[in-house]
Amino acid sequence: MSRILADRLGYAFTRPDLLSQALTHPSVTHGRAPRKATAYERLEFLGDRVLGLVVAEMLFHRFPTEAEGELARRHAALVRRDSLARIAVSWGIPDYLLLARGEEEGGGRANPAVLADACEAVIGAVFADGGLDPARRLVLAAWAPLMEESPAPPKDAKTALQEWAQGLGRPLPAYETQGVEGPPHEPVFLVSVTVEGEAPVLGRGRSKRSAEQAAATALLKKVKS
């Protein structure tokens, strides 16, 4: 089955086991053995760094007149979870993921976080197998259309919320960490954001920064709906 996915990726693996590892969710092995790093997670780590580099290179050449801050906002939008999940679906990754029964029944095959991680793991597998050139070609082909979707650099949610509040003459949004969920090796931060005149809204993320962005996004959606 993974050979079909490799064909869709346009890459012939010399070590097909790497692709199999990239498609084997940690839930499969964590239920059978003491908790330790899996090949999937290691490939995800590698793919995340490769993706970040190649997307940065793409933006550097595509937008030669933009400042660092503008490029950074584009980069953040292109490597965020939702973008990776979109690519994972376009590659057909959901059809080939190996999940534990509980993860499967919990909707893991359609979970954007799971799909984003698997997308990075697949990129990591291509890099581990063939080096930077095939990994770059894979990312270029998939991300170039996404890059062209935003003529202007996107605004991050915190900036957009701040501008919205200032436009109404209100004080700047206030963020407060409410706690941390999950195990120490995979913490999920809970952050609330408050704008004068609005009820606090909670956001979750793997870092305080991403949780703040999630909270700002949720509040923007609420006030503009």
Residue 102: its pLDDT value, please?
83
Residue pointed to by tokens 């990591």: 124
36 confidence band (pLDDT: 50, 70, 90): low
Residue 34: its pLDDT value, please?
47
Give the list of residues 6+ apart from residue 107 with CB closer than 8 angstroms, or none.
none
Cα separation, 63 vs 203, in Å, equals 32
Residue 30: its pLDDT value, please?
60
User: Tokens for 183?
Assistant: 């195990």
Considering only CA atoms, which of 111, 83, 86 is closest in space to residue 97?
Answer: 111
Q: Kindly report, residue by residue over 1-14, the tens digit of the pLDDT.
A: 577 899 999 999 99
124 and 47 in contact (C-beta within 8 Å)?
Answer: yes
**Average of per-residue pLDDT values in the chain:** 91
Beta bridge partners of 19: none
48, 103, 117, 212: the active-site residue = 48
Higher pLDDT, residue 102 or 192: 192
41, 103, 117, 120: the active-site residue = 120
Q: Kindly report, residue by residue over 75-96, the tens digit of the pLDDT.
A: 988 998 889 999 999 999 999 9
* Annotation marks residue 120 as catalytic: yes
Measured in whole angstroms, the distance separating CA 204 from the mean position of its chain's CA atoms is: 14
Residue 165: its pLDDT value, please?
93
Considering only CA atoms, which of 3, 26, 171 is closest in space to residue 100?
Answer: 26
Answer yes or no: is pLDDT of 35 > 70.
no
| The one-letter amino acid at 41 | E
* Annotation marks residue 48 as catalytic: yes
